[in-house]
């Protein structure tokens, strides 16, 4: 894998991980559009680990509050930090269970199709726009209940299909439930912590078993670059959602999904010369 390819992947991952436009979908599209070899799930997950560091740093207050809340649980008391942590745990259980089945059954690799990404990008882009338009803005994170956390967690399972967008579908679910845009984004990003951590641990085991030092260097470089771009993307998204809507992201998805369908069904999905 060339240095140029690694930089491209890291930037794409960092920008798209927390934006509701599907990072996994873009990571699959990069080699498809350029005609280069698919980087595989290992490098995909490595750049996810870089974004994990970014979300931990940006939301460090929430992370410490949740950790402190867990400690208080042993005393039989539940504070806001503990409640938020328990909601994150509950919302994570469905995707871990289904994700494990996808991995052992081989479904995970079968879904890495540009055609699937095109349809999910378009369809869930329309759903995001609809949720943002009809969803009221009356709830904050402190208003969340067990049922709400579970509903968002079940929605997250859909993100196992590339192009759906984990952040996109969880923000969509939260907006349908009437959560403020910034709160929907915050909960979605906090939900990414256990998901990315689990995927990163599995990738680390696979990396150790390969014993390929060149691959190790590639992974570390990709993770570092994705961390920087992700931190910038999180800050810009949170600032944007405090004063505006998800409409630009929905429009981007609709245009991208539509463009990909034209590329597939009209031009046969051939690599684009100016990107190769």
Rounded to whole angstroms, how far apart are CA atoms 185 and 160? 19
Rounded to whole angstroms, how far apart are CA atoms 200 and 22? 18
Could you give the angle at the alpha carbon of 55 between the alpha carbons of 251 and 100, nearest 5°? 85
Answer whether residue 235 shows pLDDT above 80: yes
Rounded to whole angstroms, how far apart are CA atoms 146 and 17? 26
Place of tokens 């991980």: 17
Q: What would the pLDDT profile of 70-127 be if each residue is shown by its tens digit?
A: 888 888 888 999 999 999 999 999 999 998 888 788 887 788 788 999 999 999 999 9
Domain ranges (residues) in the chain: 3-265
Rounded to whole angstroms, how far apart are CA atoms 194 and 91? 10
Answer whether residue 161 shows pLDDT above 50: yes
Q: What is the pTM of this model?
A: 0.89
Answer whether residue 223 shows pLDDT above 60: yes
81 and 59 Cβ atoms separated by less than 8 Å: no
Higher pLDDT, 42 or 49: 49
pLDDT in the model for residue 103: 78
27 and 9 Cβ atoms separated by less than 8 Å: yes
Percent of the chain with pLDDT over 90: 56
pLDDT in the model for residue 207: 63
Q: What is the DSSP string of 113-175?
A: -HHHHHHHHHHHHHHHHHHHHH--S-B-GGG--HHHHHHHHHHHHGGGSTTS-HHHHHHHHHH
pLDDT in the model for residue 220: 81
Across 9-22, average pLDDT: 88
68 and 247 Cβ atoms separated by less than 8 Å: no
91 and 150 Cβ atoms separated by less than 8 Å: yes
Alpha-carbon 171 to chain mean position? 11
Across 5-29, average pLDDT: 83
Q: What is the DSSP string of the chain?
A: --HHHHHHHHHHHHHHTTTTT-HHHHHHHHHHHH-PPP-HHHHHHHHHHHHHHHHHHHTHHHHHHHHHHHHHHTTT---HHHHHHHHHHHHHHHHHHHHHHHHHHTHHHHT--HHHHHHHHHHHHHHHHHHHHH--S-B-GGG--HHHHHHHHHHHHGGGSTTS-HHHHHHHHHHHTTB-HHHHHHHHHHHHHHHHHHHHHHHHHHHHHH--HHHHHHHHHHHHHHHHHHHHHHHHHHHHHTTS-SHHHHHHHHHHHHHHHHHHHTTTTPPPTTT-
Q: What would the pLDDT profile of 140-155 be if each residue is shown by its tens digit?
A: 999 999 999 999 999 9
Higher pLDDT, 276 or 174: 174
Q: What is the DSSP string of 45-58?
A: HHHHHHHHHHHHHH
């Amino acid at each position: 894998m060339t240095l140029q390819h690694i930089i491209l992947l890291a930037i794409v991952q960092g920008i798209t991980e927390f934006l509701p436009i599907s990072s996994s979908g873009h990571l699959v599209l990069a080699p498809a559009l350029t005609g280069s070899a698919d980087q595989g799930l290992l490098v995909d997950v490595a750049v996810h680990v870089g974004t994990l560091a970014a979300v931990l740093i940006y939301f460090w207050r929430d992370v410490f509050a949740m950790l402190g809340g867990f400690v208080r649980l042993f005393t039989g008391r539940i504070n806001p930090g503990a409640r938020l942590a328990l909601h994150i745990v509950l919302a994570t259980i469905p995707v871990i269970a289904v994700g494990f089945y996808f991995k052992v059954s081989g479904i995970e690799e079968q879904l890495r199709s540009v055609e699937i990404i095109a349809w999910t990008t378009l369809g869930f882009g329309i759903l995001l726009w609809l949720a943002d338009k009809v969803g009221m803005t009356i709830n904050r994170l402190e208003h969340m209940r067990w049922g709400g956390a579970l509903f968002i967690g079940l929605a997250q399972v859909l993100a196992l299909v590339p192009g759906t967008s984990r952040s996109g579908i969880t923000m969509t679910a939260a907006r349908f439930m009437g959560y403020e845009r910034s709160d929907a984004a915050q909960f979605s990003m906090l939900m990414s912590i256990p998901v990315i951590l689990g995927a990163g641990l599995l990738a680390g085991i696979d990396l150790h078993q390969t014993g390929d030092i060149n691959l190790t260097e590639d992974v570390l470089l990709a993770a570092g670059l994705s961390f920087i771009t992700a931190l910038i993307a999180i800050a810009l998204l949170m600032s944007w959602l405090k004063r505006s809507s998800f409409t630009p992201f929905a429009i981007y998805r609709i245009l991208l999904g539509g463009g990909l369908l034209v590329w597939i069904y009209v031009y046969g999905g051939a690599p684009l010369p100016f990107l190769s």
